[in-house]
Amino acid sequence: MKHELVALMPMRHSSERVPGKNYRAFGDGRPLYQHVLDVLLACKAIEKVVIDTDSPIIAEQCAESYPSVVLIDRPPHLVDGTTPMNEVLLHDMDQVPSRFYLQTHSTNPLITAATIDSAVETFLKNYPNYDSLFSVTAHQTRLWDQLCRPINHNANILLRTQDLPPLYEENSCLYIFGDDTLRESRNRLGRRPYMFEMSPWEAVDIDEEINFRIAEVVYRERAEGRLKP
């Protein structure tokens, strides 16, 4: 059966900069990946959630606690950390056919179901004028390149940072694309991608230990009702 929208969340067992981060306890004590998994399962437009992993820990926990989730054993030739994510996604798409796919990471634990639902709605409303969508975070600050050249401002005109034209960071939280988009271009981003702006409060991506610690602070303050983004 071919689905309309499938969510893909690939996870490796090992991680170099934050060891074991995908299944490390986060916030309320649940493993990090379960925070995003629970959000995906709460999204109304997602028909099926797929986890691709080489982790026996994650596979065992999911099989026990999330029977509706499709588990894919990542083959050895795709396990290396240098393997392009697009190759992993192509493998997963062959296992679970769908018209559209949403891909996220377990390392975005602050993202909400409301934001994902909004991204899906935005994508479907604008498709096919925009053939893919990716989430971004806006930045208004003075940026320079490695040769000390201003990137987004005139150094001789000292504008307030809030008056600078924003630049957008691809924050790795969300990608939505069609089956044909990735197969034809071998890229999640098509020829006409839509930039979906997210709140920076939700866009923390855990790459380093400092990201983990900051995300936990935000998570706990939000859970206690002390944070009103």
For residue 2, the Cα-to-chain-centroid distance in whole angstroms is 23
Instruction: Give per-residue pLDDT as tens, 162-194.
Output: 999 999 999 999 999 999 999 999 999 999 999
Give the number of other CB atoms < 10 A from CB of residue 2.
Answer: 9
- 3-state helix, strand, coil split of the chain in percent (to 5) is 35, 25, 40
Give pLDDT < 70 ranges for the chain: 1, 228-229
Give the number of other CB atoms < 10 A from CB of residue 29.
Answer: 7
Note the pLDDT of residue 48: 97
Q: What type of residue is 134?
A: F
Let me know: does 40 contact 7? Beta carbons within 8 Å.
yes
The CATH code for residues 3-223 is 3.90.550.10
Let me know: does 102 contact 116? Beta carbons within 8 Å.
yes
Q: What angle do CA 199, 203, 207 make, to 5 degrees?
A: 160
Note the pLDDT of residue 229: 60
Q: Which residues contact 84 (CB under 8 A, 6 or more apart)?
A: none
Note the pLDDT of residue 16: 83
Q: Which of 106, 107, 104, 75 is nearest to 91 (CA)?
A: 75
Q: Residue ranges per domain, the chain?
A: 3-223
For residue 191, the Cα-to-chain-centroid distance in whole angstroms is 20
